[in-house]
Amino acid sequence: MTITPIGFIIIPLSLVIFLVWPRLLVPWAIVASVFEAASVINFGSGVTSIGIAPFYFVVMLIGLRFAPQYLSGRLGFAHDDPLLNLFRLLTLFTCWGVVSVFVLPFLFENVVVNTPHGGMDTVPLPLHWSLSNAAQGGYLVLDWIFILYATWHARDHRDVEADVRAFRSAGLIVVAVGLYQLVAHTTGLPFPKEFFNSNESWKQLIDQRMAGTWRLSATFTEPSAAGSFFATWSAYFLFTFEDRTVARRFDWLLLCSGIAMLLLTTSSTGYFVTGVMLSMFVMQQVLRLIVQGRMNPRVLMICVVIGVGGIAAIALLPNFNRLLQQVLFQKSVSISARQRTATQWQALVLTGQSFGLGVGLGSNRPSGMLFYILSDLGVPGLLLFVGCLYMTFSMVSASIHKRLRCGTARGYLKGSAWAFGVTLFAMVVSGAEVTSPRIWVTWALISGILNHAAASSRQQAITRAPSACVEGPFGMVETARFG
């Protein structure tokens, strides 16, 4: 067991927050989630190594508060709360994932899989149960704990604001690290990869070049993951900037920096996902212009901000035309694309060989989250996961189209829902693990805001106030457990 350099900072700081300011645990976990390439503690070495990411260390501390509150019945939701059905289905998905870890690898032993530690460019090997399976099962349980606790924790308006500020701050950290990495590449200054890329269980791709351009990975394991994050972060500001109730003074600068950093990652996934996102944004504005006969003036400012961010990034890219050819137009015939396609085909083969049950969470790592779920958790896991997503977006749609008691809930909900959707799209295109913190952090933002909006409505019904936004405890309601 080895404590890493970042661990000497994260561990004591997390313990202080746990003991002194437990209310800040969820925002702190959101901030810690961006250090995906780091670990606070490494166990073992080589292909058998397991690293505890900062996010999961903080969630372990959250679990110490979650367990007694859940067992005592204090952590629950109203019987008529739609979130209750979502969490029951999410609990089934988590249970199936844990069962798959300890049953399916033994049931389908020796089938050929793409091992998680090996990467997509290695030769597939026979399946044998390993600590990677146990680790992925543990991560899924911690993700489940995080989203439930974060949702319950966000009843208060102050906590919703704290979570949103943490999400904004987390992106600023990634921007700062990415900018320094760019400076380090161009000037020869040292980049502290021992600090930001200390997780020995991941393949770290931090020194890649494309078309004569250094690719930025920032706090992530590879430029593709960084590009996906900046697409998510930019989506949040893109769809909240036009809402005056939630837009902040310097959000234009954050959106501008997010777009610029996205281009500097030279990530095919980031470029493609952002292109689709911007196309949908334009279609939404055109439809609004046709139906309402007017357009929000802030949309014009958004266009200017995106243009400035894009121009600033292009100015730092020595050969943008050649880069664009390699990133987008020649990507389909690249070695990387062929390797990813091969892993997807292997995932479909594994699904058939396992009779649709999958080979167990953490056993196979193809390109694309849907192929990951299908090959590891099978058809049952895929149906449960899709069911959870359907419930989530159904509640978002219903909440956005009705009058909410909290003035900022609609704006936050819209931005978080788009950020979550972009995250899912990016993971489907080139992601893998369903346990990725990026998924669960944006999902928790949505469910937390939905819970706060519902709690505000219940408080309004109790107090008969014309506008009621929960600022603190307002009384007990009868609750039901979700598992």
Share above pLDDT 70 across residues of the chain, in percent, rounded to a whole number: 89
Instruction: Report the percent of the chain where pLDDT is more than 90.
Output: 45
- Any idea which residue has 């500020």 for tokens? 165
Domain that residue 255 falls in: 2-480
Residue 339 has pLDDT above 50, yes or no: yes
3-state secondary structure of 123: coil
Return d(Cα 186, Cα 102) in angstroms, integer: 48
* pLDDT band, very low/low/confident/very high, at 411 (cuts 50, 70, 90): confident
pLDDT of residue 371: 92
pLDDT tens by residue, 159-194: 889 999 999 999 999 999 999 999 998 888 999 988
d(CA 231, CA 269): 9
Q: What is the pLDDT of residues 226-278, one digit of tens each?
A: 999 999 999 999 988 877 778 787 888 899 999 999 999 988 888 899 999 99
On the CB side of 470, how many CA atoms lie within 13 Å of its CA? Answer: 28
Dihedral over Cα of 36, 38, 42, 45: its sign: positive
Q: Which residue has the tokens 């078309």?
A: 211
Q: What is the pLDDT of residue 394?
A: 93
Tokens of 83: 């979130």
Question: CA 98, CA 361: separation in Å to the nearest integer?
Answer: 8
How far apart are the C-alpha atoms of 136 and 104, rounded to whole Å?
A: 14
Q: How many domains does the chain have?
A: 1
In this structure, the chain runs to a length of 483
Specify whether the CB–CB gap between 264 and 316 falls below 8 A: yes
What backbone torsions phi and psi does residue 246 show, to the nearest 5 degrees?
Answer: -120, -15
**CA atoms of 95 and 279, how far apart (whole Å):** 38
**Local structure of residue 45 (DSSP, 8 states):** -
Asked whether residue 477 carries a pLDDT value surpassing 50, the answer given is no
Whole-number pLDDT of residue 475: 36
pTM of this prediction? 0.90
Local confidence band at 463 (pLDDT 50, 70, 90 cut-offs): low
- The Cα–Cα gap between 269 and 223 comes to 9
d(CA 370, CA 160): 30
479: nearest Cα among 195, 73, 161:
73
The rounded distance, in Å, linking the Cα atoms of 376 and 354 is 9
